[in-house]
Protein backbone atom coordinates (compact mmCIF):
# COMPACT_ATOMS: atom_id res chain seq x y z
CA UNK A 1 0.00 0.00 0.00
CA UNK A 2 1.27 3.45 -0.92
CA UNK A 3 -1.35 5.00 1.34
CA UNK A 4 -5.09 5.17 1.88
CA UNK A 5 -6.99 4.13 -1.29
CA UNK A 6 -3.68 3.59 -3.15
CA UNK A 7 -2.70 0.01 -4.01
CA UNK A 8 0.71 -1.09 -5.29
CA UNK A 9 1.46 -4.37 -7.06
CA UNK A 10 4.71 -5.95 -8.30
CA UNK A 11 3.34 -6.66 -11.75
CA UNK A 12 0.87 -4.93 -13.97
CA UNK A 13 -2.48 -6.77 -13.65
CA UNK A 14 -3.53 -8.70 -16.77
CA UNK A 15 -6.95 -7.04 -16.69
CA UNK A 16 -7.18 -3.52 -15.23
CA UNK A 17 -8.99 -3.86 -11.90
CA UNK A 18 -12.63 -2.84 -12.42
CA UNK A 19 -12.68 -0.62 -9.34
CA UNK A 20 -9.42 1.27 -10.05
CA UNK A 21 -9.78 4.88 -11.15
CA UNK A 22 -6.30 5.07 -12.63
CA UNK A 23 -3.09 3.03 -12.85
CA UNK A 24 0.52 4.18 -13.20
CA UNK A 25 3.97 2.62 -13.22
CA UNK A 26 5.63 4.03 -10.10
CA UNK A 27 8.83 5.93 -10.94
CA UNK A 28 9.49 7.22 -7.43
CA UNK A 29 7.72 7.41 -4.12
CA UNK A 30 9.08 10.01 -1.71
CA UNK A 31 8.14 10.79 1.87
CA UNK A 32 7.02 14.36 2.47
CA UNK A 33 7.50 16.44 5.60
CA UNK A 34 10.00 13.95 7.07
CA UNK A 35 13.32 14.87 5.50
CA UNK A 36 14.69 17.74 7.59
CA UNK A 37 15.40 20.84 5.53
CA UNK A 38 13.79 19.48 2.37
CA UNK A 39 11.97 22.29 0.62
CA UNK A 40 9.06 21.82 -1.81
CA UNK A 41 11.44 23.07 -4.53
CA UNK A 42 13.92 20.28 -3.77
CA UNK A 43 11.12 17.74 -3.84
CA UNK A 44 9.96 19.06 -7.21
CA UNK A 45 13.55 18.90 -8.46
CA UNK A 46 13.80 15.19 -7.60
CA UNK A 47 10.38 14.39 -9.11
CA UNK A 48 11.23 16.20 -12.36
CA UNK A 49 14.62 14.47 -12.58
CA UNK A 50 13.08 11.02 -12.05
CA UNK A 51 10.49 11.75 -14.73
CA UNK A 52 13.04 12.80 -17.36
CA UNK A 53 15.22 9.83 -16.47
CA UNK A 54 12.36 7.31 -16.84
CA UNK A 55 10.70 8.94 -19.85
CA UNK A 56 13.62 10.49 -21.77
CA UNK A 57 11.81 11.20 -25.04
CA UNK A 58 8.36 12.12 -26.40
CA UNK A 59 5.64 14.44 -25.21
CA UNK A 60 4.40 14.43 -21.66
CA UNK A 61 1.07 15.30 -20.10
CA UNK A 62 1.75 16.26 -16.50
CA UNK A 63 -1.06 16.01 -13.96
CA UNK A 64 -1.47 15.87 -10.20
CA UNK A 65 -4.15 14.28 -8.05
CA UNK A 66 -4.84 13.47 -4.44
CA UNK A 67 -6.44 10.21 -3.22
CA UNK A 68 -10.23 10.43 -3.21
CA UNK A 69 -10.54 10.42 0.58
CA UNK A 70 -11.17 13.21 3.12
CA UNK A 71 -7.47 13.36 4.06
CA UNK A 72 -6.50 13.31 0.39
CA UNK A 73 -8.93 16.04 -0.56
CA UNK A 74 -7.36 18.38 2.01
CA UNK A 75 -4.10 18.24 0.03
CA UNK A 76 -5.56 19.74 -3.16
CA UNK A 77 -3.69 23.07 -2.83
CA UNK A 78 -0.43 21.28 -2.07
CA UNK A 79 -0.90 19.13 -5.16
CA UNK A 80 -1.53 22.20 -7.35
CA UNK A 81 1.61 23.91 -6.02
CA UNK A 82 3.75 20.82 -6.57
CA UNK A 83 2.35 20.38 -10.09
CA UNK A 84 3.45 23.90 -10.98
CA UNK A 85 6.87 23.44 -9.37
CA UNK A 86 7.51 20.19 -11.30
CA UNK A 87 6.10 21.65 -14.53
CA UNK A 88 8.59 24.54 -14.50
CA UNK A 89 11.44 22.03 -14.08
CA UNK A 90 10.51 19.93 -17.13
CA UNK A 91 11.56 20.95 -20.68
CA UNK A 92 8.70 23.14 -21.93
CA UNK A 93 9.05 21.72 -25.45
CA UNK A 94 8.03 18.27 -24.19
CA UNK A 95 4.88 19.33 -22.37
CA UNK A 96 1.62 18.73 -24.22
CA UNK A 97 -1.10 21.04 -22.93
CA UNK A 98 -4.07 19.60 -24.85
CA UNK A 99 -4.69 16.50 -22.76
CA UNK A 100 -7.43 15.32 -25.12
CA UNK A 101 -4.77 14.89 -27.86
CA UNK A 102 -2.56 12.72 -25.64
CA UNK A 103 -3.57 9.38 -27.17
CA UNK A 104 -3.22 10.36 -30.83
CA UNK A 105 0.04 12.23 -30.06
CA UNK A 106 1.53 9.07 -28.47
CA UNK A 107 2.22 11.06 -25.29
CA UNK A 108 3.07 9.68 -21.87
CA UNK A 109 0.85 10.60 -18.95
CA UNK A 110 2.89 11.56 -15.89
CA UNK A 111 0.89 11.70 -12.69
CA UNK A 112 1.90 13.11 -9.33
CA UNK A 113 -0.09 11.55 -6.55
CA UNK A 114 0.04 13.74 -3.46
CA UNK A 115 -1.08 11.63 -0.48
CA UNK A 116 -0.69 12.27 3.26
CA UNK A 117 3.04 11.88 3.99
CA UNK A 118 4.06 10.61 0.56
CA UNK A 119 4.30 11.83 -3.02
CA UNK A 120 4.38 9.30 -5.83
CA UNK A 121 5.26 10.04 -9.42
CA UNK A 122 4.25 7.52 -12.04
CA UNK A 123 3.77 7.23 -15.76
CA UNK A 124 1.64 5.39 -18.28
CA UNK A 125 1.47 5.66 -22.08
CA UNK A 126 -1.68 7.70 -22.77
CA UNK A 127 -2.92 4.98 -25.16
CA UNK A 128 -2.97 2.50 -22.27
CA UNK A 129 -4.27 4.88 -19.60
CA UNK A 130 -7.59 4.00 -17.96
CA UNK A 131 -8.51 7.67 -18.03
CA UNK A 132 -6.94 10.93 -19.21
CA UNK A 133 -8.25 12.81 -16.17
CA UNK A 134 -6.03 13.41 -13.14
CA UNK A 135 -6.45 10.39 -10.88
CA UNK A 136 -9.27 9.15 -13.13
CA UNK A 137 -11.63 11.73 -11.64
CA UNK A 138 -13.40 12.61 -14.85
CA UNK A 139 -15.55 15.60 -14.09
CA UNK A 140 -18.31 16.19 -16.61
CA UNK A 141 -20.14 19.45 -16.91
CA UNK A 142 -23.80 18.78 -16.18
CA UNK A 143 -25.53 20.18 -19.21
CA UNK A 144 -28.60 22.26 -18.40
CA UNK A 145 -30.99 20.30 -20.62
CA UNK A 146 -29.92 16.85 -19.42
CA UNK A 147 -32.70 14.96 -17.63
CA UNK A 148 -30.52 12.72 -15.42
CA UNK A 149 -27.13 12.18 -13.79
CA UNK A 150 -27.04 9.03 -15.92
CA UNK A 151 -26.16 11.15 -18.97
CA UNK A 152 -22.80 11.96 -17.43
CA UNK A 153 -22.05 8.24 -17.02
CA UNK A 154 -22.65 7.78 -20.73
CA UNK A 155 -20.46 10.73 -21.71
CA UNK A 156 -17.67 9.47 -19.46
CA UNK A 157 -17.87 6.00 -21.04
CA UNK A 158 -17.76 7.47 -24.56
CA UNK A 159 -14.75 9.70 -23.82
CA UNK A 160 -12.61 6.60 -23.41
CA UNK A 161 -13.76 4.76 -26.54
CA UNK A 162 -11.94 4.88 -29.90
CA UNK A 163 -15.33 5.01 -31.69
CA UNK A 164 -18.41 7.01 -30.85
CA UNK A 165 -21.99 6.89 -32.04
CA UNK A 166 -22.56 9.43 -34.76
CA UNK A 167 -24.89 10.85 -37.35
CA UNK A 168 -27.27 8.35 -38.89
CA UNK A 169 -26.18 5.41 -36.74
CA UNK A 170 -28.81 3.21 -35.15
CA UNK A 171 -28.62 2.91 -31.36
CA UNK A 172 -30.81 0.68 -29.20
CA UNK A 173 -31.09 1.96 -25.63
CA UNK A 174 -32.35 -0.72 -23.21
CA UNK A 175 -33.71 0.73 -19.96
CA UNK A 176 -33.84 4.17 -21.55
CA UNK A 177 -36.29 6.07 -19.33
CA UNK A 178 -36.44 8.92 -18.47
CA UNK A 179 -34.06 9.45 -21.41
CA UNK A 180 -30.69 10.89 -20.39
CA UNK A 181 -28.70 8.51 -22.58
CA UNK A 182 -31.21 8.68 -25.44
CA UNK A 183 -31.01 12.45 -25.37
CA UNK A 184 -27.20 12.46 -25.57
CA UNK A 185 -27.29 10.00 -28.48
CA UNK A 186 -29.87 12.04 -30.39
CA UNK A 187 -27.74 15.15 -29.81
CA UNK A 188 -24.90 13.31 -31.60
CA UNK A 189 -27.15 12.77 -34.62
CA UNK A 190 -28.00 9.12 -34.01
CA UNK A 191 -31.38 7.42 -34.39
CA UNK A 192 -32.46 5.81 -31.12
CA UNK A 193 -34.80 2.95 -30.34
CA UNK A 194 -35.53 3.48 -26.65
CA UNK A 195 -36.79 0.32 -24.94
CA UNK A 196 -38.36 0.78 -21.51
CA UNK A 197 -41.81 0.08 -20.04
CA UNK A 198 -41.53 3.46 -18.26
CA UNK A 199 -42.26 6.85 -19.83
CA UNK A 200 -39.68 8.98 -21.62
CA UNK A 201 -39.55 12.70 -20.98
CA UNK A 202 -42.13 14.37 -23.27
CA UNK A 203 -39.67 16.26 -25.50
CA UNK A 204 -37.96 12.95 -26.36
CA UNK A 205 -41.23 11.19 -27.06
CA UNK A 206 -41.89 13.93 -29.67
CA UNK A 207 -38.40 13.64 -31.25
CA UNK A 208 -38.67 12.16 -34.79
CA UNK A 209 -35.34 10.32 -34.40
CA UNK A 210 -36.54 8.52 -31.24
CA UNK A 211 -38.76 5.47 -31.33
CA UNK A 212 -40.05 4.47 -27.91
CA UNK A 213 -40.74 0.74 -27.57
CA UNK A 214 -42.70 0.60 -24.34
CA UNK A 215 -42.01 -3.00 -23.32
CA UNK A 216 -39.53 -5.10 -21.40
CA UNK A 217 -36.07 -5.40 -22.97
CA UNK A 218 -36.34 -9.16 -22.36
CA UNK A 219 -39.28 -9.33 -24.78
CA UNK A 220 -37.86 -6.98 -27.42
CA UNK A 221 -36.45 -8.23 -30.75
CA UNK A 222 -34.86 -5.69 -33.13
CA UNK A 223 -36.15 -5.55 -36.72
CA UNK A 224 -32.64 -4.89 -38.05
CA UNK A 225 -29.13 -5.05 -36.52
CA UNK A 226 -28.10 -1.89 -34.69
CA UNK A 227 -24.74 -0.12 -34.75
CA UNK A 228 -24.77 0.35 -30.99
CA UNK A 229 -26.39 -1.39 -28.06
CA UNK A 230 -26.69 0.70 -24.91
CA UNK A 231 -28.05 -0.69 -21.67
CA UNK A 232 -28.66 1.02 -18.32
CA UNK A 233 -31.41 -1.27 -17.10
CA UNK A 234 -32.00 -1.39 -13.38
CA UNK A 235 -32.13 -5.20 -13.21
CA UNK A 236 -30.22 -8.24 -11.87
CA UNK A 237 -26.67 -8.24 -13.30
CA UNK A 238 -26.52 -11.88 -14.41
CA UNK A 239 -29.87 -11.68 -16.19
CA UNK A 240 -28.80 -8.45 -17.90
CA UNK A 241 -25.52 -10.14 -18.92
CA UNK A 242 -27.48 -13.06 -20.43
CA UNK A 243 -29.60 -10.61 -22.40
CA UNK A 244 -26.51 -8.76 -23.70
CA UNK A 245 -24.93 -12.13 -24.58
CA UNK A 246 -28.00 -12.97 -26.65
CA UNK A 247 -27.53 -9.69 -28.58
CA UNK A 248 -23.88 -10.63 -29.18
CA UNK A 249 -24.60 -14.21 -30.32
CA UNK A 250 -27.28 -13.10 -32.72
CA UNK A 251 -25.19 -10.27 -34.18
CA UNK A 252 -27.84 -7.71 -33.29
CA UNK A 253 -25.31 -4.92 -32.58
CA UNK A 254 -21.66 -4.03 -33.32
CA UNK A 255 -20.77 -1.92 -30.27
CA UNK A 256 -21.83 -2.33 -26.67
CA UNK A 257 -21.93 0.15 -23.77
CA UNK A 258 -23.70 -1.23 -20.70
CA UNK A 259 -24.02 -0.19 -17.11
CA UNK A 260 -24.27 -3.21 -14.83
CA UNK A 261 -25.89 -2.62 -11.43
CA UNK A 262 -24.11 -4.20 -8.46
CA UNK A 263 -26.07 -3.45 -5.29
CA UNK A 264 -24.57 -6.50 -3.48
CA UNK A 265 -21.62 -6.23 -1.07
CA UNK A 266 -19.41 -8.84 -2.71
CA UNK A 267 -19.22 -7.49 -6.26
CA UNK A 268 -16.17 -9.26 -7.70
CA UNK A 269 -17.57 -12.82 -8.05
CA UNK A 270 -20.53 -11.37 -9.95
CA UNK A 271 -18.22 -9.40 -12.22
CA UNK A 272 -16.23 -12.54 -13.06
CA UNK A 273 -19.46 -14.25 -14.11
CA UNK A 274 -20.67 -11.22 -16.07
CA UNK A 275 -17.35 -11.13 -17.97
CA UNK A 276 -17.60 -14.87 -18.72
CA UNK A 277 -21.18 -14.62 -19.97
CA UNK A 278 -20.45 -11.63 -22.22
CA UNK A 279 -17.25 -13.00 -23.78
CA UNK A 280 -17.74 -16.79 -23.79
CA UNK A 281 -21.48 -16.98 -24.33
CA UNK A 282 -21.99 -13.67 -26.16
CA UNK A 283 -18.80 -13.46 -28.23
CA UNK A 284 -18.26 -9.81 -27.24
CA UNK A 285 -14.62 -8.77 -27.79
CA UNK A 286 -12.30 -6.06 -26.46
CA UNK A 287 -14.26 -6.01 -23.22
CA UNK A 288 -13.52 -3.23 -20.73
CA UNK A 289 -15.18 -3.26 -17.34
CA UNK A 290 -14.71 -0.29 -15.03
CA UNK A 291 -16.37 1.64 -12.28
CA UNK A 292 -16.33 5.13 -13.77
CA UNK A 293 -16.08 8.30 -11.73
CA UNK A 294 -19.82 8.87 -12.17
CA UNK A 295 -20.74 5.26 -11.40
CA UNK A 296 -22.03 4.36 -7.95
CA UNK A 297 -22.80 0.69 -7.12
CA UNK A 298 -22.32 -0.22 -10.76
CA UNK A 299 -19.69 -0.75 -13.46
CA UNK A 300 -19.65 0.25 -17.10
CA UNK A 301 -18.84 -2.36 -19.71
CA UNK A 302 -17.76 -1.60 -23.28
CA UNK A 303 -17.15 -4.15 -26.05
CA UNK A 304 -17.56 -4.77 -29.76
CA UNK A 305 -18.05 -7.59 -32.22
CA UNK A 306 -16.23 -8.34 -35.47
CA UNK A 307 -14.56 -4.99 -36.25
Q: Are 42 and 33 contacting, i.e. CB atoms less than 8 angstroms apart? A: no
Which residues touch 169 (CB under 8 Å, ≥6 apart)?
A: 189, 190, 191, 227, 228
Q: Does 196 bind ligand SAM (CB under 6 A)?
A: yes
Q: Does 233 bind ligand SAM (CB under 6 A)?
A: yes
Q: Does 205 bind ligand SAM (CB under 6 A)?
A: no
Q: How far is the CB of 131 from ligand SAM (least distance, A)?
A: 21
Q: How far is the CB of 259 from ligand SAM (least distance, A)?
A: 7
C-alpha Rg value of the chain to the nearest Å = 22
Q: How far is the CB of 172 from ligand SAM (least distance, A)?
A: 11
Q: Considering the complex, state which of residue 118 and residue 201 has its C-beta at the smaller distance from ligand SAM.
A: 201
Burial letters 209-219, b for 16+ CB under 10 A, else e: ebebbeeebee
| Binding residue for ligand SAM, selected from 234, 238, 264, 272, defined by CB under 6 A | 234
Catalytic residue among 127, 153, 261, 267: 261
Q: Does 257 bind ligand SAM (CB under 6 A)?
A: no
Distance CA 34, CA 307 (A): 53
SS3 category, 191: strand
Give the nearest residue (CB) to ligand SAM.
Answer: 180
Q: Considering the complex, state which of residue 156 and residue 196 has its C-beta at the smaller distance from ligand SAM.
A: 196
261 is a catalytic site residue? yes
List binders of ligand SAM among 135-174 (CB under 6 A): 147-148, 150-151, 174
The Cα-based distances of 123 to 5, 42, 108, 217 in angstroms read: 18, 20, 7, 42
Instruction: Please name the residue ranges forming H helices in the chain.
Output: 40-54, 70-73, 76-87, 150-159, 180-187, 202-205, 237-249, 268-276
Letters for 174-193 (x = contact with ligand SAM by CB under 6 A, - = none) are xxxxxxxx------------
Helices 40-54 and 76-87, axial angle in degrees (round to 10): 60
Q: Does 222 bind ligand SAM (CB under 6 A)?
A: no
| Binding residue for ligand SAM, selected from 111, 169, 232, 295, defined by CB under 6 A | 232
Q: How far is the CB of 239 from ligand SAM (least distance, A)?
A: 9
Q: How far is the CB of 4 from ligand SAM (least distance, A)?
A: 31
In this structure, how many other beta carbons lie within 10 angstroms of the beta carbon of residue 73? 10
Supply the residues annotated as catalytic. Answer: 261
Task: Give contact residues for ligand SAM (rule: CB under 6 A).
Answer: 147-148, 150-151, 174-181, 195-198, 216-218, 232-235
Amino acid sequence: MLGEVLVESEKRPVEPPAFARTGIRVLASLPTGQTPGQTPEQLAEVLAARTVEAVPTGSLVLQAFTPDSPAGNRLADEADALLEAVRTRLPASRLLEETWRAREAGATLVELCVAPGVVTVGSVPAKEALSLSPGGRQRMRRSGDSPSRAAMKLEEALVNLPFEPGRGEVCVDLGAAPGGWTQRLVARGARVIAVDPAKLMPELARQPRVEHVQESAFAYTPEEPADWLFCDMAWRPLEVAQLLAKWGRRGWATHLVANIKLPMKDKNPILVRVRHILTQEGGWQGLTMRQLYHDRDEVTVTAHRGI
